[in-house]
Structure 1
Amino acid sequence: MKLPTIITLLGTLLWLPSAATQAQSREASEKITRELTLTADAGRSTLAVYNLFGSVSVQGYSGSKVLVEITKTIRARNAADLAQGQKEAQPGFEQRGDSVVLYLQGPHDTRPRRQRNSGNHQLDYEFSFDYVVKVPAGMQVDASTVNGGSVRVQDVTGLVKARNVNGPVAIVNAREATVARTVNGDVSVSYAAVPRQASTYHTINGDITVSYPAGVAADVYFKSLHGELFTDFPQAEVLPARVSQNEERGSAGTKYKLSKETAVRLGKGGTDFRFETLNGNVTIKQLSR
């Protein structure tokens, strides 16, 4: 191969990444804010956030209104597609009775049991919405996203549900029952007080770390295919495997099966806390005073 040919080839290879970067370089962001007044006491009110791409952060505070700040980001290859994304991708706000619902109005309606389509055409842009929400601390919260971000709920004293698919879930300073679920990511929960109702923690690929006050009394149920359970609680007792009756009955009689869960009693036992992961460990920690 002649020297000029080699130089030309190298120049082409160096140009290709630059051209690809330029093709993807168009981006537009904007801040969207909204202030919502509750129609009922905070303790009887619920915030639901149904995100698709991006993070959700919810923090309890001493105020009486729901304060919403959304960062909307659109990425596209050209100006026309960017403008289309700015037009189509819109947040939705809904108040139904004692509920405040934050969702995506377009290009997909992310509310449960809504058909998610974008007019049956392929999107020529990417979009994300990052939610930062302040709520009266006593509200119940149900926050979720799917891709490209984390879910975090902090300083909320009501019931909390935090769900993700591809990303971590964190709940900080909870006081009531919690549901923390993701598929690919870690789950982290800490409690300012021992929850009085059953709570569940679940991930497929990730670790689960939960911290309780020292005086917790609970029965822990742990299930993992490739993981272990660790705890620093001094009074932790492994319980016998539970036997449950199988509903199938044959000519040989009724079948019984042993539960595949490991049961551990903390303190005197009581409230059920259920942990499940496929590939990951579970760590139950005692909060330091």
Structure 2
Amino acid sequence: MKQLIFMASLSMLMTLPGLHAQKKEFREMIKKEIAFSNQSDHTLIVKNVFGDITVEGYDGTQVVVEVEKIISAKNQADLDLGKQELNLGIIEKVNQIVLYPDAPYADFDGENLRFNWCNNHDEPAYGHILNFKIKVPNKIHVNVSTVNDGEVTVKNTRGDVVRAENINGGITLTDITGTTKVHCINGDVNISYAANPKNASTYYSLNGDITISYQKALSASISFKSMNGELYTDFDVNRQFMKTDKTMEKGNKPKYRFEAKPVVQIGSGLVDHDFETLNGNVFIKKM
């Protein structure tokens, strides 16, 4: 019996050092208010890598930015390095505001953000997250993306364009307007429109469902491609399994071009909407 008690006590002592090996963490809230230099045709671009992006339209004129900066590391030295190296990058142009993580291992050319630690730097010794929460004038154009540990959310915007990308997380666009370009790898896409898009829009999710709620007066040609998914809708449809363009060759011989994706027509088919999944269904709903 004494031997068993001794072994149990030794086991507890062996686990004690692990209690002191917890990661250290630093949190900071960064707040900015940014004004556009002109009064029309504004675009907000957010290129994130680790963390959430939430954009909400409102009746104001300023872009109100709150970014939660979270650094984690195994020791204080690495934590201090992360606090120093990771910052909020801001580029202000005449009608464009760009927000991105500014760090030695991140290359940003004004449009594309790439990590260069594979070539020029070791992987950082600390973990890092930037969670963006932004209020924007509601007629702004939106272009946002993140990669890991975050969701992309846009709501209550009335701009002409919404672009949203996420690699490991979902995309939710609520009560929006405008031409829509969505690209999601591992997550679901959920969208509701205050007014249906007037121009061609594309929706892609590799591993996840796409659920769209349109206004009742939808006039669209819906193309759909999936390896393991189905298309469902509660709109009345005119089904066309091959959409063709007819041109004339010499000698008045007709020539046809067949599209790779089947097309479902809703209403008069005025606007093209392109849907693609690999492992996910598409649900097109009537609001």
Do the two structures share a fold, i.e. TM-score over 0.5?
A: yes
Does the residue aligned with 1:211 lie in a helix, a strand or coil? Answer: strand
Q: Within 2, Cα distance between the matches of 1:157 and 1:30?
A: 31
Aligned to 1:263: 263
Aligned to 1:145: 146
How far 1:10 moved relative to its partner?
4.4
Q: Within 1, Cα distance between the matches of 2:179 and 2:123?
A: 41
8 A Cα contact 1:37 1:65, kept in partner: yes
Does the residue aligned with 2:269 lie in a helix, a strand or coil? Answer: coil
Does the residue aligned with 1:148 lie in a helix, a strand or coil? Answer: coil
Stretch moving more, 119-128 or 24-33: 119-128
8 A Cα contact 2:47 2:113, kept in partner: no
Q: Within 2, Cα distance between the matches of 1:257 and 1:215?
A: 30
Please give the residue correspondences for 1:48-127 in structure 2 after superposition, counting only pairs within 5 Å.
48-107=45-104, 108-110=106-108, 111-113=110-112, 116-117=115-116, 120-127=121-128
CA deviation profile, 1:207-261 (whole Å, cap 9, x unmatched) = 000010011111101110000011111x21211323589xxxxxxxxx9885442
- 2:261 is aligned with what amino acid? E
How far 1:268 moved relative to its partner?
1.8
8 A Cα contact 2:44 2:140, kept in partner: yes
2:227 corresponds, among 204, 225, 228, to 225
In 2 relative to 1, CA 219–115 (structure 1 residues): closer, same or farther, beyond 3 Å?
closer
In 2 relative to 1, CA 244–8 (structure 1 residues): closer, same or farther, beyond 3 Å?
farther
How far 1:4 moved relative to its partner?
5.7
CA deviation profile, 1:167-208 (whole Å, cap 9, x unmatched) = 101111112111111111011111011110011110100000
Q: Within 2, Cα distance between the matches of 1:275 and 1:211?
A: 14
Would you say 1:45 and 2:47 are equivalent positions? no
Aligned to 2:251: none
Does the residue aligned with 1:182 lie in a helix, a strand or coil? Answer: strand
Stretch moving more, 4-13 or 162-171: 4-13
- 1:36 is aligned with what amino acid? I
CA deviation profile, 1:154-174 (whole Å, cap 9, x unmatched) = 111111101111110111111
Aligned to 1:279: 279
Aligned to 2:32: 34
How far 1:114 moved relative to its partner?
5.8
How far 1:97 moved relative to its partner?
1.8
How far 1:5 moved relative to its partner?
7.1
In 2 relative to 1, CA 167–113 (structure 1 residues): closer, same or farther, beyond 3 Å?
closer
How far 1:3 moved relative to its partner?
3.3
Q: Gapped runs of 5+ residues in structure 2?
A: 247-254
Does the residue aligned with 1:49 lie in a helix, a strand or coil? Answer: strand
Q: Within 2, Cα distance between the matches of 1:270 and 1:113?
A: 33
- 1:225 is aligned with what amino acid? M
Structure 1 ranges of 4+ moved more than 6 A: none
Aligned to 1:197: 199
- 2:111 is aligned with what amino acid? P
CA deviation profile, 1:103-124 (whole Å, cap 9, x unmatched) = 1111424453466336623311
- Percent identical: 38
Q: Gapped runs of 5+ residues in structure 1?
A: 246-254
Please give the residue correspondences for 1:12-23 in structure 2 after superposition, counting only pairs within 5 Å.
15=15, 19=18, 22-23=20-21
Stretch moving more, 116-125 or 178-187: 116-125
Compute the RMSD of aligned alpha carbons: 2.4
Q: Within 2, Cα distance between the matches of 1:200 and 1:5?
A: 66
8 A Cα contact 1:103 1:109, kept in partner: no
- 1:146 is aligned with what amino acid? V
1:215 corresponds, among 214, 217, 223, to 217
- TM-score, length basis structure 1: 0.87
Does the residue aligned with 1:183 lie in a helix, a strand or coil? Answer: strand
Aligned to 2:249: none
Aligned residues: 273
